[in-house]
Amino acid sequence: MIRIVLADDQPLVRMGFRALLDSEDDLEVVGEAGTGEEAVRVCAREKPDVAILDIRMPDLDGLAATHRIVAEHGDSVRVLILTTFELDEYVFEALRAGASGFLVKHTVPAELIQAVHVIHAGEALLSPSVTRRLIARFAAGPPLGAGAPDPAVARLLTARELQAVELVAEGLSNGEIAERWVVSDATVRTHVSRAMTKLAARDRAQLVVLAYRLGLAAITPE
């Protein structure tokens, strides 16, 4: 059973999401919150597997709440940002805050349910309309993807691990990478997991950000 905390300042929105999530046999909403501060407290009390947070909430917004939840619980609570505001800055800030997923509220119900399962499994998930170019554009630090990878960083990874990082940064799932390489999903998971460990990425979302920051992936020209 995947235990969920749901945070949104609109009671009717929470009611709708709760009805949808609770209708699934393996999902259970164990707590609700109407503010960011309340979301942090409820997560501390209920220790859910997944926290679904709106970005704009009173007292403490969803991004600040994400920072605190990740700081307090680490990988044990995966955060999914769900918002009506599909702004590029929010996408990167959500990932930098430690969120594992980002979806807009006009997504179809099946995609929300899938998103919960995906991030609970340790994958990263972005709304289909969010592109890797936008993530790169708002990453902090020096120009991204402008040249060859840092040699010291590149030496940490095997050739296959480096390829895996590049494909993850392109938005490919493990299954899609496996199909391209003609190998098993388990083989891909091993390469991705080892790359994450070597680069100290807590999840695939951070791996994407690091890929651009470290020059392991390049921005696609328009």
Please state which CATH number belongs to domain 137-213. 1.10.10.10
* CATH 1.10.10.10 residue ranges for the chain: 137-213
What sign does the dihedral 111-196-200-137 (CA atoms) show? negative
Residue located via tokens 């947070």:
53
Higher pLDDT, 121 or 183: 183
Per the prediction, the chain carries an average pLDDT of 82
How far are the Cα atoms of 113, 124, 143, 153, 192 from residue 80, in angstroms, in the given order?
A: 11, 9, 28, 29, 21
Q: Give residue 208's pLDDT.
A: 79
pLDDT (tens digit per residue) in 23-79 = 999 999 999 999 999 999 999 999 999 999 998 898 899 999 999 999 999 889 999
Q: Residue 178 contacts by C-beta under 8 Å, 6 or more apart in sequence?
A: 184, 185, 187, 188
CATH 3.40.50.2300 domain span(s) along the chain: 2-130
Residues 6+ apart with CB under 8 A from 112: 17, 20, 21, 82, 103
Q: How far apart, in whole angstroms, are the C-alpha atoms of residue 16 and residue 204?
A: 29
Band (96; pLDDT cuts 50, 70, 90): confident
pLDDT of residue 20: 94
The CATH class that applies to domain 2-130 reads alpha beta
